[in-house]
Chain A
């Protein structure tokens, strides 16, 4: 039992409870939100350090022994995802203080944000398939409410589409989990690792069917082609602070679940995973083509999320490769890409949110003049924008390089070509935002927008600068993160140490 595994869940839980206890004062709620998300960052750093020292941390919940009892498990991938979640919770809480209106505050915005962070952190830390379903629902429920909180027509319509498709995928997930239990008699990830190959040998159809259900469910959540239409229809309808944390985290929870599923599934049955490379190529291309066609900043960014998900899925598709070096390269690329993407994408949404605040306008046609009016914002925009497009020396360059290298090592030329092409088109649409929002003069028809107060400037600026500095740092010193990604990938591909840690060495050996 390690306290570090439990702490990243207790902190947001407590933060939400205290926030709701302070129901009457929105000021106190905001304060609790900031304190809780700051403590969460420290808890996540502690977890990362502890995982670095012990490889795997396990906490059986309620003292029930695994595999029947639910365990919380933190490996390297889980630990870094929790850290990124904590950082994003912090940035979004700060931005939200500057941004959201009194109506959303009174509806409990800050406690809800903590619940969202709790659900996401829980998804990254659980070692049990059904518990993953529960944390998914916690996260979804919070996100449903955050999305619809504004109450305008657009937000409600976006929420209906988002909620509907996510419920559909939850039903698939539930059936998949039920089938997994029926076929193997366990829901524990480590136990599934140990038992699934034997089941696949005697009953390959059962494994394929349960894998298909889960794969489909996670693919909807991750926003993989052709299941992504809910995302560009909903993310831009809510307030920018919310869409920033959604963009950074929620689809990535889907990608994380895909990684967990496929690393368990791949050694048993590679039949389903083979096709993922084509899906990845299609996601990259259709996502970026959608972005090029859009004329609204956050809708452009929404389609870019999809295209970036495609890059991450390449590494997952490479799990079907017979060559262990390729699998290792691919998985490391996916982990690196995840970390890079979360920082960059959130920052772009934060910049878009501040641009919206300054201009009162998100349609490119009516925007302009920000390079003169807010040169600091223009400078910050360039870091994540060029990083997203993959220009050196920013984090996106190394992330794309890792994906291309793993794809080339596997001779997966369709995926490699799509990745290169999508990179160019990403640059095109980033330049489109630059030209329309920052460079061109403000159209005469648009009224000059609001000015930021000093407090607002700090609350909005600090998160953006922090994320931009992180992007730059990864770009200039990619080796530490890439080494970490390599270790995380090795741990995912050879789960024996995790299995031993969860089930005990004797059981793991059987």
Chain B
């Protein structure tokens, strides 16, 4: 399974970067979203993949028995997903306001700040 998810990470990042390099602001937003998903999935994978065994410490033990996926990266990914969601929502509003204000959806035409 790991190899399949690793390829998925690659596809997500590649698509994300491709979208970010397009000239449309909206595609830039989608690129950021895909890139973020790729990063989250990569962190998720760093804990290892184990099928059908939940990482619960059994009664009377103080540590997780070996043979489980590490739950810490999963907790990290949860945090990262929440942060990513907030940031992407902000970016969506920002891009919309920028388009309204400048009448432009084309990244190459955003030259106001260069003069």
Consensus secondary structure, chain B interface: helix
Which residues of A sit under 8 angstroms from B83, Cβ to Cβ? 134, 137
| Residue from A153, A154, A237 with most neighbouring chain B CB atoms (10 Å) | A153
Interface string of B61-78 (1 = CB under 8 A from A): 000000000001100100
Question: How long is the Cα–Cα vector from A133 to B81 in the complex, in angstroms?
Answer: 13
By beta carbon, the residue of chain A nearest B29 is A164
Question: How long is the Cα–Cα vector from A70 to B63 in the complex, in angstroms?
Answer: 18
B39 interface hit (Cβ, 8 Å): yes
CB-based contact A175/B32 at 8 Å: no
A412 interface hit (Cβ, 8 Å): no
Which residues of B sit under 8 angstroms from A233, Cβ to Cβ? 113-114
A360 interface hit (Cβ, 8 Å): no
CB-based contact B87/A178 at 8 Å: no
A177 interface hit (Cβ, 8 Å): yes
Within 8 A of B (CB), among A127-179: 130, 133-134, 137, 140-141, 144-145, 148, 151-154, 156-161, 163-164, 167-168, 170-172, 174-175, 177-179
B97 interface hit (Cβ, 8 Å): yes
Taking residues whose C-beta sits less than 8 angstroms from the other chain, chain B's interface range is: 35 or more
Which residues of A sit under 8 angstroms from B91, Cβ to Cβ? 163-164, 167
Total A-B residue contacts, Cβ distance less than 8 Å: 105
Within 8 A of A (CB), among B1-46: 20, 25, 28, 32, 35-36, 38-40, 42-46
Consensus secondary structure, chain A interface: helix
Question: How long is the Cα–Cα vector from A328 to B61 in the complex, in angstroms?
Answer: 47
Q: Which of B32, B46, B76, B86 is within 8 Å of A179, CB to CB?
A: B46
Within 8 A of B (CB), among A168-203: 168, 170-172, 174-175, 177-179, 181-182
Taking residues whose C-beta sits less than 8 angstroms from the other chain, chain A's interface range is: 35 or more
Interface string of A112-140 (1 = CB under 8 A from B): 00000000000000000010011001001
Interface string of B82-105 (1 = CB under 8 A from A): 010011001100110110011000
CB-based contact A175/B90 at 8 Å: no
Which residues of B sit under 8 angstroms from A137, Cβ to Cβ? 83, 87
A406 interface hit (Cβ, 8 Å): no
Question: How long is the Cα–Cα vector from A133 to B39 in the complex, in angstroms?
Answer: 13
Question: How long is the Cα–Cα vector from A130 to B46 in the complex, in angstroms?
Answer: 14
Question: How long is the Cα–Cα vector from A263 to B23 in the complex, in angstroms?
Answer: 39
Q: Could you give 6 example pairs across A and B, Cβ below 8 Å?
A: A130-B76, A157-B102, A157-B112, A164-B91, A174-B39, A181-B43
The 6 A-B pairs with the shortest beta carbon distances in the complex, nearest first, are A178-B43, A182-B46, A171-B39, A178-B46, A156-B98, A174-B39
Which B residues have a C-beta under 8 Å from some C-beta of A? 20, 25, 28, 32, 35-36, 38-40, 42-47, 72-73, 76, 79-80, 83, 86-87, 90-91, 94-95, 97-98, 101-102, 110, 112-115
Which A residues have a C-beta under 8 Å from some C-beta of B? 68, 130, 133-134, 137, 140-141, 144-145, 148, 151-154, 156-161, 163-164, 167-168, 170-172, 174-175, 177-179, 181-182, 233-234, 236-237, 296
